[in-house]
Amino acid sequence: MDRASIYIEPLNIRARIVKPQPKGLPVINLSFNELPWPPSDAVQLAIDDSASNANLYGNPSCQLLREAIAGKWALNQEQVICGNGSEELLDVIGRVFARTGDEILISEFGYIQFPIVANRVGATLVKAPETGYTTSVDALLDNVSDKTTVVFLANPNNPTGTMIDESELRRLASSLPAKTVLVIDLAYGEFADEDYCGSMHKLVTEFDNVIITQTFSKAYGLAGLRIGWLYAPEWMIPALYAARGMGTANAVAQAAAVAAIEAFESMRSRVKIIVAERERVSRQLSSLGISAVPSSANFVMARLDNGSAVSGGVNSADALAVHLYDDAGILVNQTREAGLEKFIRFSISLPEHNDRLLLSLADFVRH
Ligand SMILES: Cc1ncc(COP(=O)(O)O)c(C=O)c1O
């Protein structure tokens, strides 16, 4: 194996659908768990203002954004680090705390970025089995060894959409060895419960080995600008900064995120719409004989109820994904990369997009 290929071989990511939509319909991408609305006026204004100064570097330490985050959630701004999406910060954490010979522990169907990070840093990936597509704290603890330096846990998780409650997270945090860092990825936290993210910040104060990561990509609808943040115990901050690129969080993204925090209520009302739609879509799926894993996020993972994964060599999830694209111009995510061959995952979007999806699903089920 050449040096370069070690980065790509373990991932085995297959191509997505790239052909033109056969009916000429506009394509609706429900495969990235994005928010369907463009920035609100106030956020757009901040973007435009900042973009007009694009000749200038952004503040390397994201001073104003860290102040806004710390002010909003009563945090210590010195413990906040912003980055180029939370994806960058997960990578930074991996580089600081895991090396060849170390183990990174994740839940069986954990977020795809976690194996990617383990692969990049040369650590051994260990997966703990799930129960009902949900993280099992007991299974995670059973798989901790003296080599485990990082546990990555997305809660809610992508692609399953499931989550464990705060008491289970506390049990995990308090049972891990002191040298094992627990990373709780809250990318979808705002869709779970209004107060959930705030309650998670307390874990960082209580446990010296817990980091939380958050993003402006999902509930705040700024995915394209790439801005996320972490909250970590003070002792970790210098090392995390040292591993992060100097100016990775760009000026426009910083300004937009500050404005998005100021427009907090607008985020909340959008999240409410998505959550209501998620529940409506989930109900309709079951009436179509499609089983949806109960989701706490802005997407749903589902499969045909007969579970007919492979019939005549054709995976029904593959066939369904192709049907949704050909029939309705809808792109869904195929979760096979996470080991979930039989499922598809789709973002919850505007009611009219969700209806288009449901209609096309019904058509697939009928034939
Ligand atoms: C669980 C989870 N964490 C983190 C991310 C990364 O988000 P971003 O880099 O846009 O902040 C995603 C994106 O899909 C995600 O699903």
Residue nearest to atom 12 of ligand 1 (CA): 187
Q: Which of 69, 91, 215 to mutate to test the pocket of ligand 1 (most atoms within 8 A of CB)?
A: 215
Report whether residue 39 contacts ligand 1, using a CB cutoff of 6 Å. no
Tokens coding 146: 């003296």
Do residues 251 and 319 both lie within one domain?
A: no
Q: For ligand 1, is residue 86 a contact (CB within 6 Å)?
A: yes
Domain with 342 in it? 4-38+266-366
- pLDDT of the residue at 367: 79
Answer whether 85 contacts ligand 1 (Cβ < 6 A): yes
Domain tally, the chain: 2
CATH code of the domain in which 320 resides: 3.90.1150.10
Q: Which atom of ligand 1 is nearest to the CA of 185?
A: 3
31 lines ligand 1 (CB under 6 A): no
Mean pLDDT across the chain: 93
The residues facing 212 across adjacent strands are: 184, 231
Rounded distance from Cα 86 to ligand 1 centre (Å): 6
Nearest ligand 1 atom, CA 154: 1
Contact partners, residue 355, CB within 8 Å, separation at least 6: none
Ligand 1 atom having least distance to the Cα of 228: 11
pLDDT digits (tens, 9 = 90+) for 59-103: 999 999 999 999 999 999 999 999 999 999 999 999 999 999 999
Backbone phi, then psi, for 230, in 5-degree steps? Answer: -130, 160
CATH of the domain at 133: 3.40.640.10
Express the helix, strand and coil content of the chain in percent, nearest 5 each.
45, 15, 40
Nearest CA to ligand 1 atom 3: 187
Q: What is the mean pLDDT of residues 123-149?
A: 98
Number of Cβ within 10 Å of residue 340's Cβ equals: 20
* Domain identity same for 301 and 353: yes
Q: Is the peptide bond before 156 cis (omega within 30 degrees of 0)?
A: yes
The per-residue b/e assignment along 280-290, b for 16 or more CB within 10 angstroms, e otherwise, is: ebbebbeebeb
User: Does residue 14 share a domain with residue 51?
Assistant: no
Residue 158 in contact with ligand 1 by CB distance below 6 A: yes
CA distance 55 to 92: 27
pLDDT in tens, 310-351: 444 456 888 999 999 999 999 999 888 788 989 999 999 999
- Categorize the per-residue pLDDT at 6 as very low, low, confident or very high, splitting at 50, 70 and 90: low
Q: Tell me the per-residue pLDDT of 91-105, one tens digit each, with 9 for 90 and over.
A: 999 999 999 999 999
Of 235, 262, 289, at which residue does a domain stop?
A: 262
Domain end: 231, 262, 293, which one?
A: 262
Q: Does the beta carbon of 79 lie inside 6 Å of ligand 1? A: no
Q: Is the CB of 296 under 6 A from ligand 1?
A: no
